[in-house]
Amino acid sequence: MAAGAFLLLASGVAAQAVQGCAERDRIRVDLAEGFGQRRVAVMLSQGSVVEIYAHPELGEWTALRVGPDGLACVIDFGEVFFAVDDRPPEGDPL
């Protein structure tokens, strides 16, 4: 079962559950305990934070948008995640 579907069912308050939103700490615990996902990336985006959680072996992932108030919403999820190292060689200006 994809993490996003679980979060939609397990988020608590009905209006928030429809949107896939809950307190960030609650979703973080659900992802860790229910799906073995851990945070692998954090980005700033238009006044909020986007966090990516992924299972290190299965590749299932979940993206959250976290507002300044701590409310987090699932914005996407999927089944194929892998980390890449696209750093240019040392001395390469790009």
* 93: in domain: no
Q: In this predicted model, what pLDDT tens digit does every residue of 33-50 receive, in sequence order?
A: 999 999 999 999 889 999
The mean predicted confidence, pLDDT, of the chain is: 82
10 or 49, which is more confident? 49
* 83: in domain: no
* 16: in domain: yes
- How confident is the model over 77-81, as a mean pLDDT? 93
pTM equals 0.72
Counting the structural domains of the chain, the total is 1
- Does position 27 have pLDDT exceeding 50, yes or no? yes
* 85: in domain: no
Tokens of 43: 């980005």
* 86: in domain: no
Q: Which long-range contacts (CB under 8 A, 24 or more apart) does 77-86 make?
A: 77/2, 77/3, 77/4, 78/2, 79/2, 81/40, 81/52, 81/54, 81/55, 83/40
- Can you give the pLDDT at residue 7? 44
* 8: in domain: yes
Its domain, for residue 62, covers 3-78
Cα atoms in the 13 Å half-sphere on the side-chain side of 8: 11
